């Protein structure tokens, strides 16, 4: 069995490659070439977090079989641990034999940002140059890289309540991508969002993180932080006027509070979701008739992403000899 650390996963699965693989993953889901059972959620006894179990099988050209176990515990940072902990077991599709164990939080960050990258590539204006990022965690970092992989981003404005976290994010990415976009800390969410072509919301907030009035006409929004019915990063007003795409309808209407609460407030109906991401991959002509209408990709994450991303990372890791091989 090959064991890959987070650094191994990042090396084996660069964002540009991951975006292409996520398009393949969602296309497989839309064609019915993937089996993705509803994920199991197990809450901690004290309510401190939740553990999710996510299996998936992909058939056809990109065969893959994997199970991810990921935990989200909000108090972890106070103990010096990442909020998201996880592992992905890759199984041989023909036999079910375990062949790899991958660090799950890095894989989750990459595949989530890559899905947003795929949606952005299909929906955002081709000359999108200004990116607003709300949040300063792992997902914010990955989303900046993913957006730069699909659009000619020249300016990135980051807002999060903690100044030190934003400074650390900017310092890390500036050092990693010399000659990249100009990066700055926005004083407020409004300062970040106004004038932005693309907005990425990647926070732990349970309430909207920007005002609809600040969103530019025709801007594209990726919302990935909330994944429970009671939490939302995007206001009902933005959801109601946006052209909405989701990763999977069933998952979105079960977990995406951004949509569920807008529906419960009478602002939208179930038909407000225009497409799943895989449908958009298969038919890139799907898009708003009005170029001034904002687009919104709402993602709660589906296991087909993990299976395809893990298989891609393992393939490259084996080619390059990354990770450790242990007896099993």
Taking the C-alpha atoms of residue 302 and residue 307, their distance in angstroms, rounded to an integer, is: 10
Nearest Cα neighbor of 68 from 83, 80, 81, 57 is 57
SS3 content of the chain, % helix, strand, coil (to 5): 40, 25, 35
Q: Which pLDDT score, from 0 to 100, does residue 94 have?
A: 93
Q: Which pLDDT score, from 0 to 100, does residue 176 have?
A: 65
Q: Which pLDDT score, from 0 to 100, does residue 48 have?
A: 87
Q: Which pLDDT score, from 0 to 100, does residue 177 have?
A: 55
Longest dimension (CA), the chain: 57
**For the packed helices 15-31 and 104-123, what is the interaxial angle rounded to 10 degrees?**
80
Q: Which pLDDT score, from 0 to 100, does residue 285 have?
A: 86
Q: Are 117 and 15 in contact (CB under 8 A)?
A: yes
How many separate helices (H) and strands (E) can be counted in the chain?
11, 16
**CA pseudo-torsion sign 23, 27, 30, 36:** negative
Q: Are 236 and 244 in contact (CB under 8 A)?
A: no
Q: Which residues contact 213 (CB under 8 A, 6 or more apart)?
A: none
Residues of the chain with pLDDT under 50: none
Phi-psi region of 323 (alpha: psi -120 to 50; beta: other; left: phi over 0): left
**For the packed helices 138-150 and 104-123, what is the interaxial angle rounded to 10 degrees?**
40
Rg of the chain on CA atoms, in Å: 19
Q: List 182's β-bridge partners, or say none.
A: 155
State whether residue 185 is helix, strand or coil: strand
Question: Where would I find the H helices in 64-181?
Answer: 104-123, 138-150, 163-176
- Say what the pTM is: 0.93
Eight-class DSSP state of 274: E
């Amino acid at each position: 069995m090959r064991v890959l650390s987070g650094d191994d996963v990042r090396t084996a699965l660069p964002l540009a490659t991951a975006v292409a693989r996520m398009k393949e993953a969602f296309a497989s889901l839309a064609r019915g070439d993937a089996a993705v059972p509803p994920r199991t959620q197990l809450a901690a006894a004290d309510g401190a977090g939740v553990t999710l179990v996510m299996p998936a099988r992909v058939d056809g050209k990109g065969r893959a079989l994997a199970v991810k176990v990921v935990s989200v515990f909000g108090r972890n940072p106070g103990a010096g641990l990442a909020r998201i902990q996880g592992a992905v077991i890759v199984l041989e599709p023909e036999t079910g034999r375990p062949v790899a164990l991958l660090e799950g939080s890095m894989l989750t960050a990459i595949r989530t940002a890559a899905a947003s990258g795929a949606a952005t590539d299909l929906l955002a204006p081709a000359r999108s140059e200004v990116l607003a990022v709300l949040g300063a965690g792992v997902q914010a970092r990955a989303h900046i890289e993913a957006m730069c992989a699909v659009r000619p981003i020249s300016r990135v404005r980051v807002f999060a309540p903690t100044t030190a976290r934003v400074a650390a994010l900017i310092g890390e990415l500036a050092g990693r991508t010399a000659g990249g976009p100009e990066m700055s800390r926005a004083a407020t969410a409004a300062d970040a969002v106004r004038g932005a072509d693309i907005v990425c919301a990647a926070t732990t907030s349970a309430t909207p993180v920007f005002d609809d009035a600040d969103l530019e006409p025709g801007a594209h929004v990726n919302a990935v932080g909330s994944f429970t019915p009671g939490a939302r990063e995007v206001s009902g007003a933005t959801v109601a006027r946006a052209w909405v795409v989701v990763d999977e309808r069933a998952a979105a209407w079960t977990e995406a509070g951004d949509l569920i609460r807008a529906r419960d407030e009478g602002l939208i109906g179930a038909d407000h979701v225009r497409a799943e991401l895989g449908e958009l991959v298969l038919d890139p002509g799907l898009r708003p008739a009005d170029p001034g209408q904002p687009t919104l990709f709402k993602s709660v994450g589906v296991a087909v992403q993990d299976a395809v991303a893990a298989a891609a990372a393992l393939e490259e890791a084996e080619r390059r000899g990354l990770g450790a091989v242990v007896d099993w």
